Amino acid sequence: MTQSWRQLMDIGLIHFMAYPQATEPPAVQETIRKLAADDFFDVLEIKRVAQPGVHDELRAIAEQSGITYGLAAQPNLLGGKLSLNDPDDQGRQTAVDDVKKSIDAAYELDAKITAVLSGPDPDNDDQRSKEMDLLVDTLVELCRYAQSKADDYLCWISLEAFDDTIDKKCLIGPTPRAVELAERVRQQVDNFGLLIDLSHLPLLHESPSECLSQASEYLIHAHAGNCMMADTEDPAYGDMHPRFGYPGSENDVAELREYMESLIYVGYFQSEVPTSKPIVSFEVKPVGDEDPDLIVAQTKRTFRRMWAEL
């Protein structure tokens, strides 16, 4: 393409995936500062930090470097085994309260999106219908909570579709189910949309064009990464986001190009989104003793090779 990607999108990176050992201060600030100094990235998606004062430091990094943040509530939900569609009222409320903390953090960091995921798929049609109803209710509650906290801008809730049968085994899930959910939530609130991740499409047995043609009306956020399905004994098996081209994995330059072509075709880069531009964030994680800095560099090279082929 003759257009620069800068005209179409902001490129992001999922910080806590790229640097999985940077879980506590000062490693959090140090690795975020390193990424903020790299002008390839416009957005860093981060999880909230509990220690007082850290969000002030991160906000200063963003102000000085020109990056923006997205808030990721998924790690806390997954790590705490919390479900926004938990049929147990107390369990579901615990999940809602946790996400509200991430929404608060988003406003502290000027993040326009807080990303979440659904809980497990019950794998039973009757129970699935009940939990879809619960999920709609909790998402509407979270969107209204974000509205109640808004001042000079409104934070949106972005729900990420995961696999439903292989690794995370989430209710959302297959694209038709994600679209049904989005339609129902949008009937009640406006600040909600879907997050589609290239990493999850092979796990869902969906192609980029198949997924995005259905989800485009509600798409406000995109991730790009890789997954492994060929070898259950490999440490990268499942939804572990290995680097592009990892041996035996599903996604490399050609698959990233197909995904980007589909995003272009469905009009994602011309759509109205809560962020300043549509975001494509890379989600890659070192496997074993791989070097995070080298994995980040390989990701950037993969994107540039893909862009040269578009």
DSSP 172-241: S-SHHHHHHHHHHHHTT-SSEEEEEEGGGHHHHT--HHHHHHHHGGGEEEEEEE--B-S-TTSTTBBT--
The total domain count for the chain is 1
Residue pLDDT, tens place only, 157-173: 999 999 999 999 999 99
For the segment 135-141, the average pLDDT, to the nearest whole number, is: 98
Q: How many CB atoms are located within 10 Å of the residue 21 CB?
A: 10
> For the chain, what is the mean pLDDT?
97
CATH of the domain at 181: 3.20.20.150
pLDDT at 262: 98
Residue 4 binned pLDDT confidence (cut-offs 50, 70, 90): confident
d(CA 234, CA 175): 27
Amino acid letter for position 177: R
For the segment 205-222, the average pLDDT, to the nearest whole number, is: 98
* 47 phi, psi to nearest 5 deg: -100, 155
Would the pLDDT of 1 be above 90? no
Residue pLDDT, tens place only, 68-78: 999 999 999 99
Can you give the residue range of the structural domain that contains 66?
A: 5-309
pLDDT at 123: 84
Q: How many CB atoms are located within 10 Å of the residue 76 CB?
A: 17
For the segment 210-235, the average pLDDT, to the nearest whole number, is: 97
Residue pLDDT, tens place only, 64-112: 999 999 999 999 999 999 999 999 999 999 999 999 999 999 999 999 9
pLDDT at 2: 58
H/E stretch holding 90 reads: helix 89-108
Would the pLDDT of 3 be above 70? no
For the segment 175-185, the average pLDDT, to the nearest whole number, is: 98
Residue pLDDT, tens place only, 227-274: 999 999 999 999 999 999 999 999 999 999 999 999 999 999 999 999
Structure tokens at 240: 């572990």
Residue 132 binned pLDDT confidence (cut-offs 50, 70, 90): very high
H/E stretch holding 154 reads: none
